[in-house]
Structure 1
Amino acid sequence: MKFLGTQAYIAPEDLTIAVNAAVTLERPLLVKGEPGTGKTELARQVAAGLDLPMIEWHVKSTTRAQQGLYEYDAVSRLRDSQLGEEKVHDVGNYIRRGKLWEAFTAGEKVVLLIDEIDKADIEFPNDLLQELDRMEFHVYETGETIRAEVRPIVIITSNNEKELPDAFLRRCFFHYIQFPDMETMRKIVEVHHPGIKDALLTTALTQFYELREQAGLKKKPSTSEVLDWLKLLLAEDMSAEDLKAGGANALPKLHGALLKNEQDVHLFERLAFMARRQR
């Protein structure tokens, strides 16, 4: 079982090595990188590339680790007992299975995505240490132990919003997705926009990387944003000459796809103004 990338996902060699190392070690793969660099999509493509089912657990700020295991609906049981329901005698009727329970009892190898783990409370990773390490947990209400029949491939993503505990990091294989260089980005664009004219792509990517490297930028545009921008340029039937028309220091055409806050827009407006004054 080896991941080599897919037709829809350009995976650099170091990333495929990381995925396959985590699979071999049977440890969770912790993936970090800028937002929009394809961390979540990686899990989906690993599942597609290895022809495995996928289970997704998207973490929010209010998510608790227990929800990934199971939840006991005591309120429903109390209500049913008041109504004289027969099912109230079986506590299992009020156990709601979480995503880890699903992955552990799937009966086959699956890819389990725990997406944006850093959104949750700082104790969230610690609360999953033993479960992810031993691939089992205890259900106190029923007295049963849920154990992984086949160990899932666990991929955990983080946007680095919070530091993760050392004890959690020790149990993971870590990989940081570097932002693609221009040559890799050309391959990514070709997957999403096949047949794009070379002159347009060269000019657009040159402007994009110059924009990313601008000092003082609050939020650098990501891979997903350059793909959206190129989609708009193609929809408007723009040429390389159209992109160059504004000059080197002007805001890029349709810049709303790339710049996502007023501070960055004002930065480029000031640069354009200063460039005009120096002429």
Structure 2
Amino acid sequence: MKFTGTESYVATEDLTVAVNAAVTLERPLLVKGEPGTGKTELARQVAGALGLPIIEWHIKSTTKAQQGLYEYDAVSRLRDSQLGDERVNDVRNYIRRGKLWEAFASEARTVLLIDEVDKADIEFPNDLLQELDRMEFHVYETGETVRARHRPIVIITSNNEKELPDAFLRRCFFHYIRFPDTETMKRIVAVHFPGIKESLLTAALTQFYEIREMAGLKKKPSTSEVLDWLKLLLAEDLTAEDLKRSGTDALPKLHGALLKNEQDVHMFERLAFMARGGR
């Protein structure tokens, strides 16, 4: 069971090594990288390539680790008891399975995506250590222990918004997705826009990387954003010549796909103003 990338996902050699190492070690794969570098999509592509179902748990700032195991609805049970509902006699009627329980109970091996783990409280990763290590957990309301039928392939993503605990990191295989270089980006673009003209692609990517390298940029455009930009350029039937910028017109064509805040737009406008001699 080896992952080598897919037709729709360009995986670098070091990334495929990381995925396969995590599978071999039976450790969660912790994937970090800039937003838009394909971390979430990686889990979906691994599942597709290996022919496995995927279970996705998207973490929010309010998410608690317990929700990944199960939630007990005591309020509904109290209400039903007041109404004389016979369902109250079986506590299982009020237990809702979480994503980890779904993965553990699956009749086939699954890929379990825990997406953007760094969004949650700092204690969130630590609260899952034992469950991810032992692949089991206890349901106190019923007295049962839920054990994984098949150890899922666990892929955890992080945008590096906060540091993760050392105890959690020790249990993971780590990989940082570096931002694609020009040649890798061309391969990625070829997957999405196989008929794009070389001249347009070269001009667009040259401009894109120049923007990313600009000092003072608050938010660098990502892989997903350059793909959106190229889609717009093709829809507008623009050419490499159309992308040329003069000193008095510093903003790139259709810049709203690349620049996502007013500070960065104003910076380009100031550059154009200075190029005009401040007039």
TM-score by length of 1: 0.98
1:238 aligned onto 2:238 = yes
Tell me, which stretches of 5 or more residues in structure 2 are unaligned?
A: none
Give how far 1:175 is off.
0.3
**Residue 198 of structure 2 aligns to which amino acid in structure 1?**
D
| Structure-2 residue corresponding to 1:107 | 107
Question: Does structure 2 conserve the Cα–Cα contact (< 8 Å) formed by 1:3 and 1:16?
Answer: yes
Runs (4+) of structure 1 exceeding 3 A deviation are 245-249
Could you tell me how far 1:277 is from its partner in structure 2? Answer: 2.2
Residue 104 of structure 2 is aligned to residue 94 of structure 1: no
Task: Give the Cα separation in 1 of the matches to 2:246 and 2:199.
Answer: 17
Q: Give 1:76's aligned residue.
A: 76
Residue 158 of structure 2 is matched in structure 1 by 158
2:9 aligned residue = 9
Identity of matched residues, %:
83
After TM superposition, list the pairs within 5 Å mapping 1:205-216 onto structure 2.
Answer: 205-216=205-216
Q: Which amino acid aligns with 1:137?
A: F
2:171 paired residue number: 171
Aligned to 2:44: 44
Is residue 194 of structure 1 aligned with residue 194 of structure 2? yes
**2:171 and 2:92 mapped to 1: Cα distance?**
32
Could you tell me whether the CA contact under 8 Å between 2:248 and 2:276 is conserved in 1? Answer: no
1:138 lines up with 2:132 in the alignment: no
- Residues in 2 aligned to 1:112 and 1:249: alpha-carbon distance in whole angstroms: 47
Q: Which moved more, 1:265-274 or 1:95-104?
A: 265-274
Count matched residues: 278
> Residues 59 and 120 of structure 1 are in contact (CA less than 8 Å); yes or no, is this contact kept in structure 2?
yes
- Secondary structure, aligned partner of 1:203: helix
Residue segments in structure 1 that go unaligned for 5+ positions in a row: none
Cα deviation 1:22-56 (Å, max 9, x = unaligned): 00000000000000000000000000010100000
**1:116 matches 2:122:** no
CA distances 1:88-134 after superposition (whole Å, capped 9, x unpaired): 11111111000000000102110000000000011100100100011
Q: Residue 32 of structure 2 contacts residue 160 of structure 2 at CA under 8 Å; is this kept in 1? A: yes
Q: Is the 8 A contact 1:112 1:155 kept in 2?
A: yes
Rounded to whole Å, the distance in 2 between the matches of 1:87 and 1:244 is 70
How far apart are residue 247 of structure 1 and its match? 5.0
- Could you tell me how far apart the structure 2 residues matched to 1:154 and 1:170 are? 15
Kindly provide the amino acid, as one letter, of the partner of residue 232 in structure 1: L
**Distance (Å, rounded) in 2 between the aligned partners of 1:273 and 1:50:** 54
Identify the residue that residue 53 of structure 1 maps to in structure 2. Answer: 53
Match of 2:266 in 1: 266
Q: Is the 8 A contact 1:246 1:252 kept in 2?
A: no
Q: Once the two structures are superposed, what CA deviation does each residue of 1:153-194 show, in whole Å capped at 9, x if it has no partner?
A: 000000000100000000000000000000000010011111
Measure how far apart 1:13 and its partner are. 0.3
Between the aligned partners of 1:150 and 1:48, the Cα distance in structure 2 is 18
Task: State the distance in 2 between where 1:234 and 1:249 align.
Answer: 21
> 2:247·2:276 contact (CA, 8 Å) conserved in 1?
no
Other structure's SS at 2:30 match: strand
